[in-house]
A and B are shown apart, each in its own frame.
Chain A
Amino acid sequence: MTNDYSIIGKSIAMIDAAGKTTGSGKYADDLSVPGMLHGKILHSPHPHARIKSIDTSRAERLDGVVAVVTGKDAPNPFGILPVGHDEHALALDKVRYVGDNVACVAAASEAIAEKALELIAVDYELLPAYFDPEESMKAETNLIHDNKPNNLEKDYHHVFGDPDKAFAEADYIAEGRFLANEVTHAAMEPHCTLASFELDPHTGTLGRLTVWSSTQVPYYLQHKLSLVLEMPMSQIRVIKPLVGGGFGGKSEVIPIEIIAGIAARAAQKPVKITYTREEVFWAHRGRPRTIVDLKTAVKNDGSITAVKARVVQDGGAYCSYGVVTILYSGALLGALYDIPNIQYDGYRVLTNKPACGAMRGHGTVNVRFAFESQLDEIAAKLKMDPAEIRRRNLLKPPCITINGLRVQSYGLPECIDQIVTRSRWSERKGKLPRGRGLGIACSHYVSGAANSIIRSDMPHSTVNIKIDRDGGVVIYTGASDIGQGSDTMVAQVAAETLGCALSRVKVVAADTDLTPIDIGSYSSRVTFMNGNATLRAAQEVKKQIAAAAAKKMNCAPEDIVFRNDRLTNDRLTCGDGSVTRPGDAELRGESPTVSGRVEGQILRGSLQQKRKDEGPKDSMTFEEAVVAAIDFHGALSGTGSYAPPSEARGGKYKGAGVGPSPAYSYSAQVAEVSVDEDTGEVTVHKVWAAHDCGRALNPVSVEGQVIGSVWMGMGQALTEEMIWKDGLLMNPGLLEYRSPSSVESPEVEAIIVESIDPEGPFGAKEASEGSLAATIPAIANAIYDAVGIRLHESPFTPDRVLAALRAQRNAKPLNLTEGVDPTAPEKFREHGGELCFKGKGPKRHESDSARQPAQPGGAD
Chain B
Amino acid sequence: MKRELIELRVNGLTHELAIEPNALLLDVLRRDLGLTGSKRGCDDSSCGACTVLVDGTPMLACTLLAFSCEGPEITTVEGISEHGSLAAIQKAYGDWGGAQCGYCTPGFMITVKHLLTVNPDPTEEEIRAALSGNLCRCTGYTQMYSAIKAAIEAEKKGMAAAK
Contacts and interface: CB of A to CB of B under 8 A. Distances in A.
B141 interface: yes
A243 interface: yes
Top 5 closest A-B pairs, CB basis? A23-B37, A483-B101, A20-B102, A711-B140, A244-B103
Contact of A14 (B30, B94, B133, B137): B94
Contacts of A277: 41-44, 47
Interface of B: 30, 35-44, 46-47, 49, 76-78, 80-81, 86, 89-91, 93-97, 99-106, 109, 127-129, 131-144
Given A27-B39, A734-B47, A741 B135 contact: yes
Interface string A669-708: 0000000000000000000000000000000110110011
26 contacts: A11-B95, A18-B86, A20-B93, A20-B105, A22-B77, A23-B77, A24-B78, A26-B36, A188-B39, A188-B41, A188-B138, A189-B39, A245-B137, A245-B138, A246-B101, A276-B43, A277-B42, A483-B103, A700-B96, A733-B46, A734-B44, A741-B131, A742-B129, A742-B132, A745-B128, A748-B142
Contact of B49 (A188, A242, A712, A747): A188
Q: Secondary structure of the B side of the interface?
A: loop
Nearest to B136: A188
Contact of B43 (A17, A278, A700, A707): A278
Given A21-B94, A21-B99, A734-B41, 16 more contacts: A189-B39, A190-B40, A244-B41, A245-B101, A277-B47, A700-B97, A701-B97, A704-B139, A708-B140, A710-B140, A733-B42, A739-B135, A742-B127, A742-B141, A743-B132, A745-B140
A115 to B, nearest CB: 11
A707 B142 contact: yes
B24 to A, nearest CB: 11
A542 B146 CA distance: 38
B27 to A, nearest CB: 9
Contact of B100 (A22, A704, A710): A704
A707 B86 contact: no
Contact of B102 (A21, A29, A276, A747): A21
A16 B100 CA distance: 10
B134 to A, nearest CB: 8
A657 to B, nearest CB: 30
B94 A18 contact: yes
A188 B143 contact: no
A23 B47 contact: no
Contact of B101 (A482, A707, A712): A482
B137 A739 contact: yes
Nearest to B47: A734
A256 interface: no
Nearest to A186: B137
A739 B140 CA distance: 10
A25 interface: yes
Interface string A480-502: 00111100000000000000000
B94 A734 contact: no
A30 interface: yes
B119 to A, nearest CB: 15
B135 A22 contact: no
A310 B152 CA distance: 53
